[in-house]
């Protein structure tokens, strides 16, 4: 049972354009959502997060949008840079739990110079 | 702040052998997590410690797996009688602030069972 889904295994975007990565979830108990970036042979690096009480959170070039009714979130990167090429994981956590993270399967983002 | 460290980074072992991995969390973090990642998948939760108490274990953690965090600082994950299906990246993460769910990951230990 995949509770967090990233349906696009890969995405290619021209440098300078906007990258949009999508994530869907099924568990209504999730109330905190995170995006991680992963380079080969390294652990995931935290990028940005959003609580279910918000619908948008921005940090520099990264913005996360949350649509609770659709159980959907997205990560926008603008402008995209070559160093953004990596695998991006969406993760979710439930309040009053142990805060364990449930991850999606990842989207490989390639920025084309 | 040195971040989360894991040792070893790579381990190759023969089926049936025991292996032990170590994780050193960020020093002020009281929560420590173990995850496992296989090819093409996201990390999957294995177990969680708050200080020295192991509070939850996933069904993925069979009886061959054991984890400890004896003094609430570093943690070890042991796999007994390894099987080829245990080949994966084992990731450790830590966190602290109750109001924040961000977990910070180490570089992982890549286990290959031959």
User: Which of helix, strand or coil describes residue B85?
Assistant: helix
Contact B56/A100, CB-based, under 8 Å? yes
pLDDT of residue A96: 66
Contact A105/B42, CB-based, under 8 Å? yes
Three-point CA angle A97, B60, B57, nearest 5°: 40
Residue A16's region, left for phi above 0, alpha for psi from -120 to 50, else beta, is: left
pLDDT of residue B61: 85
pLDDT, chain A, mean: 94
d(CA A81, CA A58): 17
Mean pLDDT of B3-31: 95
User: Confidence band (pLDDT; 50, 70, 90) for B102?
Assistant: confident
pLDDT of residue B10: 97
Joined tokens for residue A47: 């990028």
Q: What is the pLDDT of residues A43-57, one digit of tens each?
A: 999 999 999 999 999
Give B106's contacts in chain A (Cβ within 8 Å). Answer: 43
pLDDT, chain B, mean: 92
pLDDT of residue B99: 59
Q: What is the pLDDT of residues B63-87, one digit of tens each?
A: 999 999 998 889 999 999 999 999 9
Q: What is the pLDDT of residues B22-52, one digit of tens each?
A: 999 998 888 999 999 999 899 999 999 999 9
Q: Pick the residue with more confidence: B20 or B60?
A: B20
The strand pairing partners of B23, in sequence order, are B6, B75
Mean pLDDT of A19-41: 94
Give A46's contacts in chain B (Cβ within 8 Å). Answer: 102-105
pLDDT of residue A99: 77
**pLDDT above 70: residue A97:** no
Best to test chain A binding among B43, B50, B92 (most A CBs inside 10 Å): B43
Mean pLDDT of A59-73: 97
Are residues A110 and A14 in contact, defined by beta-carbon separation less than 8 angstroms? no
Best to test chain B binding among A2, A5, A100 (most B CBs inside 10 Å): A100
Contact A43/B107, CB-based, under 8 Å? yes
Residues of B in CB contact (< 8 Å) with A are 4, 6, 31, 33, 35, 40-45, 48, 50, 55-56, 91, 93, 95, 101-108, 110
Residue ranges of E strands in chain A: 4-5, 10-14, 19-25, 30-38, 45-51, 56-59, 62-67, 72-77, 86-94, 102-103, 107-112
Best to test chain A binding among B102, B104, B106, B109 (most A CBs inside 10 Å): B102
Query: CA-CA distances (angstroms) from residue A112 to A14, A15, A61, B47?
Result: 5, 6, 17, 39
């Amino acid at each position: 049972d995949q509770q967090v889904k990233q349906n696009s295994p890969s995405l290619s975007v021209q440098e300078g354009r906007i990258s949009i990565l999508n994530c869907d979830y099924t568990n209504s108990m999730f109330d905190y959502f995170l995006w991680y970036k992963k380079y080969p042979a390294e652990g995931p690096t935290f990028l940005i997060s959003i609580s279910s009480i918000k619908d948008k959170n921005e940090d520099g070039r990264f913005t996360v949008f949350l649509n609770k009714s659709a159980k959907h979130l997205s990560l926008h990167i603008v402008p995209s840079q070559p160093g953004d090429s990596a695998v991006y994981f969406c993760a979710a956590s439930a309040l009053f739990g142990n805060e364990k993270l449930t991850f999606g399967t990842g989207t490989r983002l390639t920025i084309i110079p | 702040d040195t971040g989360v460290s894991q040792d070893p980074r790579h381990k190759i072992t023969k089926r049936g052998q025991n292996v032990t991995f170590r994780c050193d969390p960020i020093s002020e973090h009281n929560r420590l997590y173990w995850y496992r990642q296989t090819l093409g998948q996201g990390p999957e939760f294995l177990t969680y410690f708050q200080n020295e108490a192991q509070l939850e274990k996933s069904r993925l953690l069979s009886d061959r797996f054991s984890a400890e965090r004896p003094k609430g600082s570093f943690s070890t994950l042991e796999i007994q009688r390894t099987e080829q299906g245990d080949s994966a990246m084992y990731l450790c993460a830590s966190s602290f602030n109750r109001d924040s769910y961000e977990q910070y990951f180490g570089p992982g230990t890549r286990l290959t069972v031959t």
